[in-house]
Chains A and B, each alone.
Chain A
Amino acid sequence: MSEKPIQGEKRVFMTGNEVVAWAALAAKADIMYGYPITPQNEIMHYWTRMAPKFGRKFLQTEDELSAGFTTLGGVLSGRKAFTATAGPGNTLMQEPLSMAEMMRIPSVVVIQQRGGPSTATVIYSQQEVTMTTFGGNGEGFRIVYSTSTHQELFDYTIKAFNTAWKYRFPTFVLADGYQAKMRESLKIYDPEEKGVKLIQPEATIGKPAVNGVKEPVHVRNTYNTEEELFEVLTGYMEDYQKCAPEVTEYQEFDCDDADIVVVSHGVVARAAKVAVQELRQEGLKAGFFRPVTLRPFPADQLRSVADKTKTLLFVESAFGQMAKLAKESIFGSTVNVETLYKPGVGITSEEIVAKVKGVL
């Protein structure tokens, strides 16, 4: 029961959903709460097969509202709890996650984006960016990692638990149906053996008495006055802004002398990377920029790229949801903006190369 799910480091070839289940095990997640929805299902399927062998738990709930709220209950009782969903399930997940924002409940949610709006497709999209970064009736006090490879799915799922528990903001791993279903090779490992410290969870409710004295806690999400709420949210914003520089992650290359920089995230960034490399080989001055955290967004970093290039090309499998975040962060810049938007549809490097050549 108590042996480690992964000993040392192993090279494996598996689907992204399987990767997430392994990563959650490796991160010492205690319990998963979930409701079936494609393309996320196999996270539950692998978890329910493996978890009991390591003393971990699972609850299949009646819907995603319940999956989200039970996850909050699990976290409140001091367990590393998580859930996973997609599309319409992500829509329902916004209600519990707004409570997590308000009560600083370090919950972890894995999203495998599918086509939207509505039921749309069970296949793939990048259309859950707006909802995942700023969903719910709140201020987006969340951390959102957009992964690009199976290795990152593993690394960032582990990281998500640490980030959530360290800063106490709900944390999302935002992937997609391609990453969920595709098989790819990666290295899975025991994080502690690699020197990655796993943050210990702490109970809010159900803490045992100390020296026979129990100090009850009272946690709430309702406030009586405007001032009271304002004070709480001002404090949250300060915390968020303080942790943002530590949390923000991005990748860039070939931007310094670029005439055009391709900006993309998630799985599309893989196509963009290949496209930029090919364009460079042809002598065209293209650059690559990829936000890894969509929230907080690497605003300063993109701004400095915008300041030195002529054109930013936003490429995404949505009608500009990432671009909205990007444009806000470069507000005032005079850089030229071009777009390649294919909502709910995959994007190839050839399409990006052709688009860049059309612009240059």
Chain B
Amino acid sequence: MSTLPQMPKSWRLESKPHKFCPGCGHGLVLKALGEAIDELGIQDKVAFGCDIGCSLLAWDFFNVDTVQTHHGRTTPVMTGVKRANPDVICIAYMGDGGGYAIGSQHLVNAAARNEKITAILVNNCNYAMTGGQMAPTTLPGMKTETTPYGRDVEQSGYPTQGPEMVAAITRDGAYVARGTIANLKQLKSYLKKALENQLAGNGFSFVEALASCPTNWRTNAKDTWAFVEQEMPKYFKVGELKNPAEKGDE
């Protein structure tokens, strides 16, 4: 594997090469996350919760305590861990279906309660694990298995703007950002700040990552990157929405 030399220390060697499809965004998000964990030196204190979705494939991805949960339920499981043992650095890792559809009540309420956990949501514009159905984040006009003629906003509404929603309902102490696998350095810095925000005990931290799913998009490498770099950011603005570490936030 060409990525072998740069493998983050917190990655688990025995489970590599990982199980995601070639060109999948999950692997890149988890690489950025692994590096963030390494740089903060928190590997021994992290508990990583993964959702059901393609994120379930990450159940043995890191050399950190890991719990695989149910579709949409990673946020409450990690909330439960954090409330019971605040020394654990809790990461809830999920897809856009898990976070914005079936588990949206958990995301909204964890944010509203300012739970001191870090939620990371992979936005790949579809339900990937189940074969490419429409997700809350499917772009208008985008074809999926359940929108074969393209997402009709009259019928299905507009894509969920997750970080915007979380930013709107959180108060002081929350960290909210949207990164992309097209800019891994920036994504890593967001993930790091989200973890630092938890370490500082400030409040809820949320990072959405724009990510590729070439398998369900049925795109080649070139079109995959074009979609991630050009199409997705048109609707999903990349950047920090809330950062308690910065004075004059908002």
Contact = CB atoms under 8 A, between A and B. Distances in A.
Interface of A: 30-31, 33, 57, 59, 61-63, 65-66, 69-74, 76-79, 81, 95-96, 99, 103, 203-207, 209, 214, 216-222
Given A62-B105, A216-B63, A218-B60, A74 B68 contact: no
A74 B59 contact: no
B185 interface: no
Count class of interface residues, chain B = 35 or more
B76 A66 contact: yes
Contact of B65 (A57, A99, A206): A206
A69 B81 contact: no
Interface string B52-83: 10001001101111111110010011111111
Nearest to B103: A65
Interface stretch (B84-92, B167-175, B225-233): B84-92
B80 A74 contact: yes
Contacts of A62: 105-106, 108-109
27 contacts: A57-B84, A59-B83, A62-B109, A63-B105, A66-B79, A69-B73, A69-B106, A70-B76, A73-B83, A74-B80, A77-B84, A79-B84, A96-B70, A96-B73, A204-B65, A205-B66, A206-B65, A206-B81, A216-B63, A216-B64, A216-B65, A219-B66, A219-B67, A220-B60, A221-B70, A222-B56, A222-B68
B176 to A, nearest CB: 19
Given A74-B84, A79-B84, A96-B73, A220 B68 contact: yes
A78 B52 CA distance: 23
A69 B68 CA distance: 12
Contact of B80 (A81, A209, A217): A81
Contacts of A209: 44
B158 to A, nearest CB: 24
Contacts of B30: none
B84 A81 contact: yes
Given A62-B109, A63-B105, A218-B60, A70 B83 contact: yes
B84 A222 contact: no
A216 B47 CA distance: 9
B123 interface: no
A214 B43 contact: yes
A207 B67 CA distance: 13
